[in-house]
């Protein structure tokens, strides 16, 4: 490959953002390939001057806006860029012997050889968590590169050697290369995490077999040369320190991404579109697509180009909506992001996306619900009474539980369960039964047969219960009749004051023995209807069944009689209570008229008319929301989570943490409004 083109040389020196744009436009236009090593050196040099060299000067300065206000842009001279580029070119060509390599396509051994050259030149000091190590400028001046930087350096070195088939392959947190005549061979050229350098040169097939998010199930972004330029631009990090960002570098990155967007090099790159959307949310560009449009475009690219295997476009949009206080929609897109990640099996190399959902579930959503229940803010107070928001919340956890199924490493632990219970209890209990939860099997079909069997079992249980109740009721009635027959045998006649006659009991023995019974006692009709007066001095042994109580109850009062447990006394108590209730209802329905004051009656009628003319406000019923449950853990909690009764928190804890005893360090993040630039950053590669 030739060195720096003459057309590009004429654009130096670089002293503003526009001149940087012209250099990139020159490299991206025409039939030639853009020079990755050259562009990476230019961008790295600008980033180093605007961030690393200014960190010490501004590190201790208090800046409430977290922005650097000084309009400073470095001057980049051509000789400095040429010297660094020549150093890299000499290192690569001097270390690789192409005399025995006859093919125009790279082999696995060749890719491994190039990655060994880059790897052996790196500093052995631990530095991988630092920022601004993704460019060749960092490699050529300090022998330091992060994970993405190593992969980019390998591809740039292969380009210098003339291998046009070697390209970057990018997941959402890892990078490797593809090569070969068909471009279907893969090779690890960098590390991820700690101590994985021995994977270099190996294919990524094992990661795909394990269904790891790190490799996107075989749906990574396979870059062209132009998309590799977009990758190095998207990797720019404007951070000066934890509380200060460079506004000049962020503006340069935003303009470069728009240049690539206009040239259609971002349409298959969801992460770059999301980064551009993030930048637009801070400083919108007039006449350009809005932030939401860019996020939606990133989601669309993930769906159409990569079978909806990219998670971050959803979480980017959810985070943006959260900062805009559109909490319900934020929860919706977080649940959608969890749905995508549920396609994978979790392992410890997926730590970055794990932290993403850990923050959402254990920090951001609790903050929203606290705003809704404690502070009752205008933006959040309706969330706890919205069945749809409750459904999004449950779907988030259902998808995370599904992500855990089949994984070598569990996801949920006791901290997740505690925050889940705390969040569920903040939702109004009346909305729980507004969810129509559908159980979905592994094939994506509703579990109809199982549902029908459960319904049949429930119906059978109800029928059995009804039969038992009927039998018990019938047995009780028979006992009551038998008791009444025993009682009627001992009933005495009572003088009817109105007719002057005598009423007799129904039993023949009652007629024969009426002279031997105290005349003050009730007739059988009076007893059964609950009417008459009790003589508390009377002997009550005559009213007790000899089968249930063979001896008398001396000193028994009306109250103790009503508390008795034999069927006859209980039947009497129920009838007495029923009659008293009917009499009370009748007295309440027949209002007493004012005998002398008709005006009072008129006033009462007016008040009734006013009441009728102003009925109580009836709220419309809440809609029934249909949501799917696909995980075994949430299927087991369906009845609890859709019941309006008191939650069984112990059962929830046990269900969510079953075989999930994992201890993961908590990432502390602010739950502020993110109104400043410094705290709103895209996630850099943290290897």
Both tokens of residue 498?
A: 């109105």
587 pLDDT tier (thresholds 50, 70, 90): low
Which residues make Cβ contacts (< 8 Å) with residue 415, sequence separation at least 6?
Answer: 362, 666
**What is the distance of C-alpha 87 from the center of its chain?**
50
Residue 211 backbone phi and psi in degrees, to 5: 60, 45
pLDDT over 60 at 591, yes or no: no
Rounded CA Rg of the chain:
41
Rounded CA separation 333/319 (Å): 9
State the Cα–Cα distance between residues 201 and 117, nearest whole angstrom.
13
Q: Omega of the bond prior to 140 within 30 degrees of 0, cis?
A: no
Q: Which two tokens stand for residue 203?
A: 């294919």
d(CA 235, CA 229): 10
- The better pLDDT of the pair 579, 92 is held by 92
Segment holding 178, helix H or strand E:
strand 175-179
CB atoms within 10 A of CB 287: 5
pLDDT (mean) for 68-93:
87
Between 46 and 554, name the one with better pLDDT: 46
Lowest-confidence pick of 435-444, 515-524, 670-679:
670-679
Helix H or strand E segment including 503: strand 502-503
Cα angle 407-412-418, degrees, rounded to a multiple of 5: 170
Cα torsion through 557, 560, 565, 571, rounded to 10: 60
Instruction: Give the H or E element holding residue 319.
Output: helix 312-323
State the alpha helices, DSSP H only, in 324-447: 327-341, 351-359, 365-370, 387-404, 414-424
- Report phi then psi at 217, rounded to 5: 55, 35
CB neighbours of residue 586 within 10 Å: 9
What is the average pLDDT across 447-473?
58
Reported as a pLDDT band with limits 50, 70 and 90, residue 458 is low
Predicted local distance difference test score (pLDDT) of residue 473:
56
Amino acid 577: pLDDT: 60
Q: How confident is the model at residue 206 (pLDDT cuts 50, 70, 90)?
A: confident
Residue 67: pLDDT above 50? no
State residue 487's pLDDT score.
45
Q: Is the pLDDT of residue 662 over 60?
A: no
Q: What is the pLDDT of residues 254-290, one digit of tens each?
A: 999 999 999 999 999 999 999 999 999 999 999 999 9
Q: Which two tokens stand for residue 79?
A: 């000789």
Query: How far is the C-alpha of 374 from the C-alpha of 390, rounded, in Å?
Result: 18
Q: Answer yes or no: is pLDDT of 115 > 70.
A: yes
pLDDT of residue 516: 43
SS (H, E, C) 526-568: HHHHCCCCCCCCCCCHHHCCCCCCCCCCCCCCHHHHHCCCCHH
Q: Determine contact, residues 235/685, Cβ cutoff 8 Å.
A: yes
| Backbone φ and ψ of 671, nearest 5° | -110, 35
pLDDT at 529 over 70: no
Provide the pLDDT for residue 475: 55
Is residue 22 scored above 50 in pLDDT?
A: yes
Nearest to 357 by CA among 443, 266, 420, 275: 420
Q: Which of 94-108, 401-415, 430-444, 522-536 has the lowest mean pLDDT?
A: 522-536
Q: Is 402 exposed, middle or buried (0-12, 13-18, 19+ CB in 10 A)?
A: buried
- pLDDT score recorded for residue 345: 95
The tally of CA atoms less than 13 A away on the side-chain side of residue 542 is 16
* Three-class SS state of 455: helix
Q: Residue 318: its pLDDT value, please?
A: 97
Percent over 90 (pLDDT), the chain: 56
Pick the range with the lowest mean pLDDT from 24-28, 157-161, 381-385, 558-562. 558-562
Tokens of 598: 């008709």
Give the number of other Cβ atoms within 10 Å of residue 548's Cβ: 14
Q: Looking at the predicted structure, is the pLDDT value of residue 564 above 80?
A: no
186's enclosing H/E stretch is strand 185-187
Give the pLDDT band (50/70/90) at residue 197. low
Q: What share of the chain is helix, strand, coil (3-state, %, to 5)?
A: 55, 5, 40
The upper half-sphere exposure of residue 589, i.e. CA atoms within 13 Å in the direction of its Cβ, equals: 6
Q: Which pLDDT tens digit goes with each residue over 315-334?
A: 999 999 999 999 999 999 99
> For the segment 609-651, what is each residue's pLDDT rounded down to a tens digit?
444 444 544 556 778 899 999 999 999 999 999 998 899 999 9
Q: How many residues does the chain have?
A: 687
- The secondary structure of 124-145 as a DSSP string is -S--TT-SS-SSHHHHHHHS--
Burial 120-142 (b: 16+ CB within 10 A, else e): eebeeeeebeebbbbbbbbbbeb
Distance of CA 333 to the CA centre of its chain: 8
Tokens read off for 110: 């060749």
CA distance 394 to 399: 9
Looking at residue 675, its pLDDT comes to 37
State CA 495 to chain mean position distance: 79
Give, as one character, the DSSP assignment of residue 183. Answer: S
Res 526 pLDDT > 70: no
Residue 511: band (very low, low, confident or very high) from pLDDT cuts 50, 70, 90? very low
Question: String of b and e for 461-475 (b: at least 16 CB within 10 Å)?
Answer: eeeeeeeeeeeeeee
What's the token pair of residue 205? 């097939």
Beta bridge partners of 167: 178
The arithmetic mean of pLDDT across residues 390-402, rounded, is 97
Cα separation, 564 vs 667, in Å, equals 65
Average pLDDT, the chain: 78
The per-residue pLDDT for 523 is 42
Give the list of residues 6+ apart from residue 319 with CB closer than 8 angstroms, or none: 330
Q: Tell me what pLDDT residue 568 has.
A: 53
């Amino acid at each position: 490959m030739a060195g720096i083109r003459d057309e590009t040389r004429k654009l130096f020196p670089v002293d503003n953002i526009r001149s940087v744009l012209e250099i990139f436009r020159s490299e991206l236009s025409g039939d030639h390939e853009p020079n990755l090593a050259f562009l990476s050196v230019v961008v790295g040099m600008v980033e180093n001057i605007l961030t690393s060299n200014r960190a010490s000067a501004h590190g201790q300065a208090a800046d409430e806006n977290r922005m650097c206000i000084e309009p400073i842009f470095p001057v980049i001279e051509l000789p400095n860029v040429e010297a660094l580029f020549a150093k890299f070119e000499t290192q690569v060509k001097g270390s690789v012997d192409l005399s025995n390599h006859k093919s125009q396509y790279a082999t696995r051994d060749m890719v491994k050889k190039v990655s060994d050259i880059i790897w052996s030149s790196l500093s052995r000091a631990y530095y991988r968590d630092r920022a601004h190590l993704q460019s060749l400028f960092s490699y050529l001046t300090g022998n330091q590169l992060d994970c993405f930087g190593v992969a980019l350096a390998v591809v740039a070195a292969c380009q210098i050697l003339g291998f046009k088939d070697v390209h970057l392959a990018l997941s959402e947190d890892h990078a490797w290369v593809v090569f070969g005549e068909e471009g279907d061979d893969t090779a690890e050229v960098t590390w991820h995490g700690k101590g994985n350098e021995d994977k270099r040169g190996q294919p990524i097939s094992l990661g795909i077999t394990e269904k790891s998010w790190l490799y996107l199930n075989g749906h990574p972004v396979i870059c062209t040369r132009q998309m590799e330029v977009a990758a190095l631009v998207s990797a720019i990090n404007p951070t000066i320190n934890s509380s200060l960002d460079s506004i000049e570098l962020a503006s340069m990155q935003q303009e470069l991404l728009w240049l690539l967007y206009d040239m259609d090099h971002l349409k298959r790159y969801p992460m770059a579109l999301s980064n551009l959307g993030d930048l637009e949310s801070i400083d919108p560009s007039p006449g350009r697509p809005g932030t939401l449009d860019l996020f939606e475009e990133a989601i669309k690219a993930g769906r159409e180009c990569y079978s909806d295997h990219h998670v971050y476009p959803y979480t980017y949009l959810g985070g943006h909506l959260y900062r805009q206080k559109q909490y319900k929609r934020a929860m919706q897109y977080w649940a959608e992001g969890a749905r995508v990640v549920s396609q994978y099996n979790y392992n410890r190399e997926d730590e970055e996306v794990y932290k993403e959902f850990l923050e959402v579930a254990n920090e951001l959503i609790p903050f929203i619900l606290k705003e809704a229940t404690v502070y009752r803010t205008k933006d959040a107070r309706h969330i706890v009474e919205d069945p749809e928001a409750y459904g999004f919340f449950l779907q988030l956890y259902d998808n995370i539980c599904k992500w855990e199924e089949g994984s070598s490493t569990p996801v949920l632990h006791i901290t997740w369960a505690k925050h889940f219970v705390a969040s569920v209890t903040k939702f109004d209990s009346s909305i729980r039964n507004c969810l129509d939860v559908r159980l979905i099997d592994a094939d994506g079909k509703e579990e109809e047969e199982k549902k029908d069997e459960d319904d049949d079992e429930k119906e059978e249980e109800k029928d059995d219960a009804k039969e038992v109740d009927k039998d018990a009721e019938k047995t009780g009635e028979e006992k009551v009749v038998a008791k009444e027959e025993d009682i009627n045998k001992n009933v005495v006649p009572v003088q009817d004051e109105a007719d002057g006659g005598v009423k007799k009991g129904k039993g023949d023995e009652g007629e024969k023995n009426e002279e031997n019974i105290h005349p003050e006692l009730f007739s059988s009709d009076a007893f059964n209807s609950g009417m008459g007066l009790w003589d508390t001095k009377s002997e009550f042994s005559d009213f007790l069944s000899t089968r249930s109580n063979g001896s008398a109850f001396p000193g028994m009062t009306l109250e103790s009689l009503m508390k008795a447990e034999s069927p006859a006394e209980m039947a009497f108590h129920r009838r007495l209570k029923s009659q008293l209730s009917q009499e009370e209802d009748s007295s309440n329905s027949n209002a007493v008229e004012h005998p002398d004051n008709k005006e009072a009656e008129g006033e009462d009628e007016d008040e009734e008319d006013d009441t009728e003319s102003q009925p109580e406000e009836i709220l419309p019923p809440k809609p029934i929301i249909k949501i799917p449950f696909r995980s075994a853990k949430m299927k087991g909690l369906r009845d609890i989570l859709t019941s309006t009764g008191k939650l069984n928190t112990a059962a929830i804890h046990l269900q969510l943490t079953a075989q999930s005893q994992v201890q993961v360090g908590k990432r502390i993040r602010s739950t502020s409004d993110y109104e400043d630039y410094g705290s709103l950053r895209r996630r850099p590669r943290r290897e």
